[in-house]
Structure 1
Amino acid sequence: MIYLVEDNPQIREVVSEYLKIKEYQVREFEGVSGVLESMQQHRPDLCILDVALPDGNGFALAKAIRQQYPGVPFIFLTARESESDRILGFEIGADDYVVKPFSPRELVLRVEAILRRSQSQKGNQGARTRWYLESDVLEIDEVSQKVLINGSECLLTSAEWKILSYLGRHPGQVFSREQLLGACLEYYYTGSERTIDTHIKNIRHKLGKEGWIETRRGFGYRFAGKVADSSQ
């Protein structure tokens, strides 16, 4: 089930039809009203949220969703294209940020990519690499796409997972923002390189320590964990 929160009926109809072609169930909302109440009965697999809504703000709604249903991924679909709005969206925890006008087909591809990762997190654990930094232990499971910090699961957005996983596969190597955008966010993000800074900030916060990812001023970022062991 995908929740689509969009006040423009034409956009809502087009997005809904494209999602239904891919056999997704869609529940439509014209505004903020009723979204959280509906989640109590039918928790969605993903939410697509406009920001400027007639009865509220999509950013505020996203914060409420993140607090009450932290495992539900969401995408912002909005005409607000400034860098500050994009950064705010990712700071809240968005898995993606799509600016209008947009391609419905590309939006569906983004939805599918996020849902694939979300579903894989529910699978069995597979190959896992354990890293340490001082007294902390970080486990990155590439198969189930789970991250554990000191034994507790760390919930990352799709973009955050891609960045941490990529850095973890290349420990000690420094990557520029541009390199991380190209390697981790692939086709689906064309915004400012500074958005990488926001993702890194969020990852550090969730891992509880900045030292896992070091900043090399003027160059970029590198993963600083030390490998503990690796199992297949």
Structure 2
Amino acid sequence: MKKILIVEDETYMMDLLKIHLRTEYDILEAKDGQTAIDILQEKSFDAIILDVMLPYVSGWEVCKKIREHDAETPILMLTARSELSDKVMGLDMGADDYLVKPFEFEELKARIRALLRRYEHRKPESSEENKYVYFNGLFRIDLNSRQLFLDQQQIELTAKEFDLLSLLASNPNRVFTRELLLDKIWDFNEVRDLRNVDSHIKNIRIKLKKVIEDLTFIQTVWGVGYKFNLHEDMK
């Protein structure tokens, strides 16, 4: 179970957050900014929910201190103020997302899931064995360098194209719906249009067929979505 640190000084809000999140996450709480800093010196978390208005040390300052030593752990900031300047300040301090009180808890959970997916996707590979998401005689995706090679030719992909292709290739013959691809690759605060998936898949296909025209790597499963084809004869 993933671990989340909640930094919130209002007892009522803290209780609500724990009620809605404790079935999905291992929760640890801090009721002021200094306590949060002390905890983070000893423990690591998969995500941090951080209120802006805190005793002793503000949420902005806590966020800044976290980012001095940790550039990766997702931080979702909560505030009762909706001013754009507050949001800009939080993002400038290194926050990944920002939610204004009052909010719907389903939206909060959706944003946490999106942040965790982004974090998992950008985590460095732990070993050389996991360097390649997919490899055979002609096709290679290198996760460390985020490069694609087909028939020993490097193919330039955009960030989204690379993320889409590596996800499909790491799950060969599994069918992904367009909705699932959108959910896994696009951030919560980006434009979430199913046509974006189709457009990126089309661009990937065009780039692959410039190198090998007679092999279809990404197959459309009509009425469902897309899957990556294994070509056994290429091994």
**Fold similarity call, TM over 0.5:** yes
Q: 1:81: Cα distance to partner? A: 0.8
Cα shift readout 1:203-223 (whole Å, capped 9, x = no counterpart): xxxxxxxxxxxxxxxxxxxxx
SS of the residue corresponding to residue 71 of structure 2 reads coil
Cα deviation digits, residues 134-172 of structure 1 (max 9, x gap): xxx99844137xxxxxxxxxxxxxxxx958xxxxxxxxx
Give the 3 Å change call, closer, same or farther, for CA 100–35 of structure 1 in structure 2.
same
The aligned residue for residue 182 of structure 1 is: 191
Which residue number in structure 1 is paired with residue 18 of structure 2?
16
CA–CA distance in structure 2, aligned partners of residues 74 and 181 of structure 1: 17
Report the CA distance between 1:120 and its aligned residue.
2.6
The question of 1:2 aligning with 2:11 is answered: no
| 1:51-104 deviations in Å (ceiling 9; x for gaps) | 111222111110100111111110011102101111111122221100000112
Matches for 1:1-232 after TM superposition, within 5 Å: 1-22=3-24, 24-122=25-123, 124=130, 126=133, 127=141, 128=146, 140=159, 141-142=162-163, 143=166, 162=186, 181-183=190-192
**Structure 2: which amino acid aligns with 1:182?**
V
Distance 2:41 2:65 in 1: 13
Structure 1: state its 5+ residue gaps.
131-136, 145-160, 164-179, 185-226
Matched residue pairs, number?
150
- Residues 138 and 52 (structure 1), Cα distance of their counterparts in 2 relative to 1, 3 Å cut: farther
Kindly provide the amino acid, as one letter, of the partner of residue 71 in structure 1. Answer: E
Counterpart in the other structure of 1:204: none
Aligned residue type for 1:35: A
Runs ≥4 in structure 1, deviation > 6 angstroms? none
**SS of 1:7's equivalent?**
coil
In structure 1, how many angstroms separate the alpha carbons of the residues matched to 2:118 and 2:32?
28
Structure 1 counterpart of 2:64, which letter? K
Alpha-carbon distance in 2 for matches of 1:50, 1:29: 10
- Give the aligned residue type for 1:98: L
> Which residue identity does 2:111 align to in structure 1?
R
Any stretches of 5+ residues in structure 2 without a counterpart?
134-140, 149-155, 168-184, 194-206, 212-216, 218-235
Give the SS at the match of 2:18. Answer: helix
Query: How far did residue 8 of structure 1 move?
Result: 0.6
**CA distance in 2: counterparts of 1:121 and 1:181, whole angstroms:** 17
Q: TM-score of the superposition, structure 2-length normalised? A: 0.55
Structure 1 position 118, deviation (Å): 1.1
Bigger radius of gyration among the two: 2
**Shift, 1:181, TM fit:** 4.7
Deviation of 1:17 (Å): 1.6
Deviation of 1:35 after TM superposition, in Å, equals: 1.5
Higher relative contact order (CA 8 A, sep 6+): 1
| d(CA) in 1 for partners of 2:60, 2:157 | 31
Deviation by residue 1:107-143 (Cα, 9 ceiling, x = unmatched) = 111111111221233355544458xxxxxx9984413
**What is the TM-score normalised by the length of structure 1?**
0.56
Sequence identity of aligned pairs in percent? Answer: 32
**Separation of aligned partners in 2, 1:49 and 1:69:** 15
